[in-house]
Amino acid sequence: MFQHVDAYPGDPILTLNEDFQKDPRTNKINLSIGIYFDDLGRLPVMAAVREAESAMLSSIGPKPYQPMTGAINYCEAVQHLLFGADSEALRSGRIATLQTLGGSGALKVGADFLKRYFPDSQVWVSDPTWDNHRAIFEGAGFVVNTYPYYDAERGGLNFAAMLDAIKALPRHSVVLLHACCHNPTGVDLSAAQWAELIPVLREGGLLPYLDIAYQGFGDGIVEDTHAIRALADADVPFFVANSFSKSFSLYGERVGGLSVVCPDKDQAGRVFGQLMFAVRRNYSSPPTHGGQIVARVLRTPALYKLWSDELAGMCERIQAMRRRLHDGLVQRVPGRDFSYFLTQRGMFSYTGLSAEQADVLREQHGVYVLRSGRMCVAGLNNGNVDRVAEALAAVL
């Protein structure tokens, strides 16, 4: 019966992470998956999350199904966080927001909706992008293409080529954009570049689809929403998939959201209804617990402060690790430019390592990075950074 089923080659990120767990070496170092670890290499439980969850446990209640679109208090908190409480688009009721199963669930529900109402559109993602973008949109039935993004020679953004490619797209093409902390390159558009891109998106009748999975890991919680707020102000209809996996260290709770900014309230109502139907046909309704942790933190000023302070501290630690790795490499491999470790933003650095070098790093040194050369710098700590510098110097 299943003879024709192909063997699954595995996922470039999740399977590597599982291989790491199985690796018996005690000195192994995991810089593969995008997960923030603390300086002792532990997955943190954030203080605000602990407080919110403790409060929730002290009043355990019944557990009905949630609405298909999730909890209203959660969706409102997401809207305020992404768009700002005084956003015009929000006040005019033209943003449809639902609670989803992480950022991935948001991307998938939005992709299903788009395939239904824009069946002839194709999707355009940055070259490179998070591996699962392609998989999710192809899984929803789209042809997925790339637009130029990363300039490997300069270690920066090839903005002119990106803009030219996007200018040439047919109307209603879906353009996937990273709102901040681009995965995997750590290279973002500046505010001035967004200001140049946005009219191109609007005039081309394109459908921007923003992904924000690292809010707070760039310039700050509000600063990292710059692109989202600028698009909303520019009257461009667009999609935003957001994730709290990293910013709340709530990976396994699957907490995310999908917001669609529409031209007016009436269209937002209809879009909301069809997104609801897309959810119903996928998984019916989202789980309660994780969303309520996040809603409680975002809506309680003292907890919000605790959360934002801790998140800022996590960013500082990542920056400190970027500096230590950079300095360690400059010392060991003189004459080579490692400044990209300092300029790339968010959780990742794109090292330029080849797949073969990544294999040697893993097999001989127990240091796991993706075969694309992406390194999760949030997995570095004071106890392992020198060994990583040593191992990198050996394979370069």
Active site residues: 130, 211, 246
Minimum CB distance to ligand KET, residue 396 (Å): 23
Minimum CB distance to ligand KET, residue 243 (Å): 3
CB 193 within 8 A of CB 159: yes
The interface region with ligand KET, picked from 40-48, 98-106, 230-238, 338-346 by CB under 6 A, is 98-106
Q: Establish if 294 lies at the interface with ligand KET (CB under 6 A).
A: no
Report the C-alpha gap between 27 and 45 in whole angstroms.
24
Report the C-alpha gap between 228 and 58 in whole angstroms.
37
Q: Establish if 257 lies at the interface with ligand KET (CB under 6 A).
A: no
Minimum CB distance to ligand KET, residue 30 (Å): 11
Q: Establish if 13 lies at the interface with ligand KET (CB under 6 A).
A: yes
Say which DSSP state 150 is in: E
**Window 15 to 54, contacts with ligand KET (CB under 6 A):** 33-34
In the set 110, 155, 256, 328, which binds ligand KET (CB under 6 A)? 256
Structure tokens at 170: 């047919």
Report the C-alpha gap between 336 and 372 in whole angstroms.
20
Q: Establish if 102 lies at the interface with ligand KET (CB under 6 A).
A: yes
CB 21 within 8 A of CB 359: no
Q: Establish if 258 lies at the interface with ligand KET (CB under 6 A).
A: no
Of 34 and 208, which has the nearer Cβ to ligand KET? 34
Q: Establish if 213 lies at the interface with ligand KET (CB under 6 A).
A: yes
Q: Establish if 259 lies at the interface with ligand KET (CB under 6 A).
A: no
Minimum CB distance to ligand KET, residue 264 (Å): 29
The H-or-E segment that residue 243 falls in is strand 238-243
Sign of CA dihedral 115, 79, 268, 169: negative
In the set 70, 103, 208, 286, which binds ligand KET (CB under 6 A)? 103
Cα 395 to its chain centre, rounded Å, is: 29
Q: For residue 360, what are the contacts with CB-CB under 8 A and spacing of at least 6?
A: 395
Q: Establish if 211 lies at the interface with ligand KET (CB under 6 A).
A: yes
Minimum CB distance to ligand KET, residue 2 (Å): 27
Q: How many residues bind ligand KET (CB under 6 A)?
A: 14
Report the C-alpha gap between 33 and 9 in whole angstroms.
17
Q: For residue 202, what are the contacts with CB-CB under 8 A and spacing of at least 6?
A: 234, 235, 236
Report the C-alpha gap between 69 and 217 in whole angstroms.
27
Q: Establish if 132 lies at the interface with ligand KET (CB under 6 A).
A: yes
Report the C-alpha gap between 38 and 380 in whole angstroms.
9
Of 123 and 268, which has the nearer Cβ to ligand KET? 123
Burial class of residue 60, CB neighbours in 10 A (0-12, 13-18, 19+): exposed
CB 231 within 8 A of CB 206: no
Minimum CB distance to ligand KET, residue 335 (Å): 32
String marking each residue 166-195 x if it binds ligand KET according to CB under 6 A: -----------------x------------
Q: CB nearest ligand KET: which residue?
A: 102
Residues engaged in binding ligand KET (CB under 6 A): 13, 33-34, 102-104, 130, 132, 183, 211, 213, 243, 245, 256
